[in-house]
Chains A and B, each alone.
Chain A
């Protein structure tokens, strides 16, 4: 791939992004860069709005402040048709797979092709079988989504996401709730698709080991701020207590085990209250 020739090295750049839901600030003035042809991971505890970030990049949500550029386009300034054209070049793998439940595997993978191209059915078949082969599920083409295991559903969804040969894929928690074997399969797939197809990948996850194994660069986010960034090695050797706690999975640390409450002894002794 000739990504090195490209004038700017980052495909997606997020500048000074702020976003809040209700009174809760989800992102507070953060900036991130996602380099072309690389796997960039965003890590952080559950509920830090990692999925929200992907939806912001995909133009499904609007930021309060800040600019998101994808391949030189300001996502939130595009007209609707331009945004849709841009989305054809962005793949997204949802946590649940988001397969259409009333179609079988084959039709699900064929869906974007049928919606966006006027290819003859024979060519669609070839393309779909190629994509299914890439994720190792060519034999499952006749199954319905409710007959698939979680890991298979995600692999089918991945085949669908690459159906239109996008320039990038966003993975939303690809490893959550998977057994070790399908985790391994997904790690392998993300890595190999990235190198073979020359994709730019954004992986949102809180699975430390799997993500560290494939990412080229990692951002660690907590409470709307970037608390650490760098290559997996740099992150693992980070001096920040918070990052250390997250990477090692310690129960207590900068992120407290206890939900904020008043003094334990006082609480037990104050009788006469219901709660």
Chain B
């Protein structure tokens, strides 16, 4: 029993220490933003590997999620004779929830794990240490551009996911199931609010992008520099990002859509 408590205490302490290290790491990363902005080429290169390379998985998944929503929504709504509101259902679920959340989960799986592995391997092969000995701060040179790229790409990817999904829902809804196309768009436009729905969705995805990039980069930077350590860190990135994204989604939803 005492051993169990000791173990528990030890674990709690370790996770607090890690949180502290992570926060310090984040501050160092943020402090490098100005110097990155003076060298846009570094940022551009990372936008490519973080954003462009996630483009395909995000748009294809978005299309399918939208199509499934169209199909499922139609069957439920037609029971109430309310097929006309299919557009509202698809768009609201995508813009408010699925767009930011699923895009962020996919981002953590595609770009986040790649970032962790990349940074972890750079650490394992002494590249980070070597950079320090060349009087180059690896956080500013390596971490900050990647962080910024992830942070900037996420809202764009989430918007793409939602937009493609809404089109997918329309394809299934009015192309396959015969919902009036005009009603699909018109109902959506009257019900969805720019401020409450679109902007809040974008805010969500910005927060998720921030957190997912932070976790991915920190896990890589904090990895034990061996092949086993890096593979564990990659797993932790995906698990921790998923937890954080879903937990934050609940908090943000409660804050944003609470009073209505």
Contacts and interface: CB of A to CB of B under 8 A. Distances in A.
B133 interface: yes
B134 A112 contact: yes
A100 B127 contact: yes
B122 A60 contact: no
A94 B129 contact: yes
B127 A115 contact: no
Contacts of A25: none
If over half of B's interface residues share one DSSP class (helix, strand or loop), that class is named, otherwise mixed; here it is helix
Contacts, number: 51
Interface in B143-184: none
A253 to B, nearest CB: 32
Interface in B207-237: none
If over half of A's interface residues share one DSSP class (helix, strand or loop), that class is named, otherwise mixed; here it is mixed
Interface string B179-216: 00000000000000000000000000000000000000
B92 to A, nearest CB: 42
Interface string B101-127: 000000000000000000001100111
A60 B125 contact: no
Interface residues on A, range: 20 to 34
B133 A92 contact: yes
Interface stretch (A81-89, A187-195, A207-215): A81-89
A31 interface: no
Contacts of B137: 84
A12 interface: no
A90 B132 CA distance: 11
Contact of A98 (B129, B135, B136): B129
Contacts of B134: 87-88, 111-112, 115, 160
A219 to B, nearest CB: 21
Nearest to A54: B133
Interface of A: 55, 58, 60, 84-85, 87-88, 90-92, 94-96, 98-101, 111-112, 115-116, 157, 160
